[in-house]
Amino acid sequence: MIELKYMEKRYAGSDAYVYVRDMTIQKGEIVGILGENGSGKTTLLKSIMGIGEVQNGSITIEGKPASELYDRMAFITEEGSFFPDLTPDEYAQFLAGFFTRFDRELYDKLLKFYELEPEDAIKTFSKGQKAKLEICAGLAKKADYLLMDEPLIGKDMFTRRDFFKLMLSGLRGDETVLFATHLIDDVEHVIDRAIIMKKGRVAADFYIDEMREQGRTLAEMMAEASGYKADKYRDVFE
Ligand SMILES: Nc1ncnc2c1ncn2[C@@H]1O[C@H](COP(=O)(O)OP(=O)(O)OP(=O)(O)O)[C@@H](O)[C@H]1O
């Protein structure tokens, strides 16, 4: 279980402010963290991972700080956590030494699936290939808490589809998955719950089953929670 209470995050030299009063994410939930650009999705995920200091409040995972559970947590981001001079093979050796559950066999199978060359320097990979490597590493960590920040951005349609199939097939069922994305059509059928951020606050938090029972779609919920106005663009021309 992930618990946040009165979390306040400010960045030096910026007015940005992310505040979460009370949020509990149960074990086994697959949660979409949604919201417009700059709404606080990455800040929320990084704070849960214990990356960067939060000024106030508490964030615990199973009652402990993230630093005590590092080898049961994985964070897949666009930025990547690999060292560019290493090869995927060398990167795996590093990961195996650091993450006790690292599954080398799965990692190698994923590399093969994504057609990534284990002996080439990572710095020679394209952006998409680097992101795929990050997915291989993240999934092979066999983490209980899998946090992902836009792992699908810039990926072609087939890569996105495969990603969900790979991720969901590899889960045991008790992992907690947090998924920050703008690709709501892709995640609507994958997530159990949606948390919509707006200007650093939680604007909506609901279960997808309840949403469907009300005959609503994620796109509608997003537009409502974000206060999106379809004709706002006209202001530019007035
Ligand atoms: N390193 C930083 N220094 C200063 N301000 C920051 C920093 N990182 C984020 N912010 C600010 O914090 C707010 C939340 O940013 P965050 O990256 O969490 O949003 P996001 O929802 O992930 O956005 P996007 O969808 O564009 O990736 C924004 O106003 C942003 O400008």
**Residue 178 Cα to ligand 1 middle (Å):** 17
Q: In whole angstroms, give the CA distance from residue 122 to residue 120.
A: 6
Residues forming beta bridges with residue 5, ordered by sequence position: 22, 58
Q: Is the pLDDT of residue 238 over 80?
A: no
Question: CB-based contacts of 237: which residues, under 8 Å, 6+ apart?
Answer: none
Model confidence pLDDT, tens digit, residues 174-208: 899 999 998 888 888 889 999 999 999 999 999 99
Residue whose CA lies nearest to ligand 1 atom number 23: 38
pLDDT value, residue 166: 82
Please tell me which residue, 79 or 145, carries the higher pLDDT value: 145
What's the pLDDT at 19?
95
**Residue 144, pLDDT above cutoff 90:** yes
% of residues, the chain, pLDDT over 70: 98
Residues 169/149, Cβ–Cβ less than 8 Å:
no
The residues pairing with 148 across neighbouring beta strands, listed in sequence order, are 76, 179
What pLDDT is recorded for position 236?
Answer: 82
- Highest mean predicted confidence (pLDDT) among 78-87, 121-130, 222-231: 121-130
Which pLDDT belongs to residue 80? 67
- pLDDT tens per residue, range 4-63: 999 999 998 888 899 999 999 999 999 999 999 999 999 999 999 999 888 999 999 999
What pLDDT score was predicted for residue 124? 93
Distance CA 48, CA 81 (A): 17
What is the pLDDT at residue 210?
Answer: 96
Where are the strands (E) in 26-96, listed by range? 30-35, 56-61, 73-77
Instruction: Report, as an integer, the average pLDDT of 129-140.
Output: 89
For ligand 1, the distance from its centroid to the CA atom of residue 43, given in whole angstroms, is 6
Q: Which domains does the chain have, with CATH numbers?
A: 2-227 (3.40.50.300)
- Average pLDDT (106-134) is 91
- Checking if the pLDDT of 81 tops 90, the result is no
- Look at residue 92 in the predicted model and tell me its pLDDT: 95
* Amino acid, single-letter form, for residue 192: D
Name the percent of the chain lying above pLDDT 90.
Answer: 60
**pLDDT, position 234:** 79
Q: Ligand 1 pocket: which of 17, 20, 34, 39 to mutate (most atoms <8 Å of CB)?
A: 39
What does the DSSP assignment read for 41-56? Answer: HHHHHHHHHT-S--SE
pLDDT, the chain, mean: 90
Give residue 165's pLDDT: 83
As for ligand 1, residues whose beta carbon falls within 6 Å of it are 11, 14, 16, 18, 35, 37-43
